[in-house]
Amino acid sequence: MTHQFPALSPEQKKALADIAQRIVASGKGILAADESVGTMGNRLQRINVENTEENRRAFREILFTSDTSINQSIGGVILFHETLYQKDSTGKPFPTLIKEKGIVVGIKLDKGTAPLAGTNGETTIQGLDGLAERCAQYKKDGVDFGKWRAVLKITSTTPSQLAIQENANALARYASICQQNGLVPIVEPEVLPDGDHDLQRCQYVTEKVLAAVYKALNDHHVYLEGTLLKPNMVTAGHSCSKKYTPQDVAVATVTTLLRTVPAAVPGICFLSGGQSEEEASLNLNAMNQSPLPKPWKLTFSYGRALQASALAAWLGKSENKKAAQEAFRKRAQINSLACRGQYVLSGKTDAAAMQSLFTASYTY
């Protein structure tokens, strides 16, 4: 406990810190395009497209062949394993395509949830086995950051002490291994929005969870300046009868973060967690307009909330490519404004943008 055995050299630390800073550079956030095969199935089913490898490739190609100027809104893209090794129609590998735009490539590293026996349906996350070797290989293949999603749920008896502690510990082990292999770990302790709890309850639980996460990261000697946090925003549960404004969400969220996230963490990239595209942008914007201090960047790491309109425009048809890219570009730009607190709602509502993207008990 008393002697340091440095986990990283100064050069390793600098490399990690630089990567993290590039991802969350001013006005930039992350496109979470790392949906697993199963989850892509859900997405494609909604637009009546068959869940084949080619269709998954085709949709990701639409996103990644966006005009280079997308790099002003997107600092990083998270890929699923399959996607890392796919190519566009000219034969160019996706990571090359993304890096050419000056965007950092990331990879989902966890292997999904596993039950915690003796709890009320709670889980931990697996994926630590052979993780060092996988990270080393991904680094060679062009990846500079990783993502690992832990899941906690609010009910009258959860999250339990065990679930909080076990998920925090697994996140810290993952983060440690990533950093040893030159990958910036994005730490994602998602507290699901399922339930009828109010905003205060979510805030309380999120504070406890994040305190445990940062204690675990410290215990595991993780270099905070070379990490990013991907938390839920603090919101009421989906079935909560009380409604809250973006300002309520902003104050609750930023207060929670001020109480738990050390200033050394360069950026906080929120998950959208089933919020509609518009909701996710408005909430992020309200946070960045909030007068509360914000010693870290507050930005986005959105999956559904960046892609819903693009999917709806695409409908699986190659002739819709431009329309889909335009839909994606628009959301990316809006979120870029939101992470500077400069998004002014136009008053136009777009059906796909407003549609709640909530899927009950979302495991991926």
Partner 1 sequence: MTHQHPALTAEQKKELSDIALRIVAPGKGILAADESVGSMAKRLNQIGVENTEENRRLYRQILFSADSRVKKCIGGVIFFHETMYQKADDGTPFVQMIKDKGIVVGIKVDKGVVPLAGTDGETTTQGLDGLWERCAQYKKDGADFAKWRCVLKISEHTPSALAIMENANVLARYASICQQNGIVPIVEPEILPDGDHDLKRCQYVTEKVLAAVYKALSDHHIYLEGTLLKPNMVTPGHSCPTKYSPEEIAMATVTALRRTVPPAVPGVTFLSGGQSEEEASINLNAINTCPLVRPWALTFSYGRALQASALSAWRGQRDNADAATEEFVKRAEVNGLAALGKYEGSGDDSGAAGQSLYVANHAY
Q: Which residues bind partner 1 (CB under 8 A)?
A: 1-4, 154-161, 164, 200-201, 204-205, 207-208, 211-212, 214-215, 218-219, 224, 255, 258-264, 293, 295
- Between CA 114 and CA 105 the distance in angstroms is 27
By C-beta, is 265 or 339 nearer to partner 1?
Answer: 265
Residue partners of 163: CB distance under 8 A and separation at least 6: 116, 119, 122, 123, 124, 152
* Catalytic position from the list 35, 122, 166, 188: 188
Min CB(187)–partner 1 separation in Å:
14
Q: List the beta bridge partners of residue 145.
A: 106, 184
Of 29, 57, 28, 26, nearest in space to 44 by CA = 57
By C-beta, is 10 or 347 nearer to partner 1?
Answer: 10
Min CB(100)–partner 1 separation in Å:
32
Q: What angle do CA 132, 165, 358 make, to 5 degrees?
A: 85
Min CB(185)–partner 1 separation in Å:
16
Query: 317 catalytic, yes or no?
Result: no
* The residue to which tokens 């100027």 are assigned: 69
Min CB(268)–partner 1 separation in Å:
12
By C-beta, is 102 or 295 nearer to partner 1?
Answer: 295
- Between CA 235 and CA 129 the distance in angstroms is 34
By C-beta, is 225 or 326 nearer to partner 1?
Answer: 225
Q: Residue 223's CB: how many other CB atoms inside 10 A?
A: 21
* Catalytic position from the list 61, 230, 278, 279: 230
Q: What is the CB-side half-sphere exposure of residue 257 using CA atoms within 13 A?
A: 30
By C-beta, is 13 or 46 nearer to partner 1?
Answer: 13
By C-beta, is 215 or 321 nearer to partner 1?
Answer: 215
Query: 230 catalytic, yes or no?
Result: yes
By C-beta, is 137 or 200 nearer to partner 1?
Answer: 200
Min CB(153)–partner 1 separation in Å:
10
- Between CA 17 and CA 20 the distance in angstroms is 5
Of 112, 127, 107, nearest in space to 182 by CA = 107
Catalytic residues, by residue number, are 188, 230
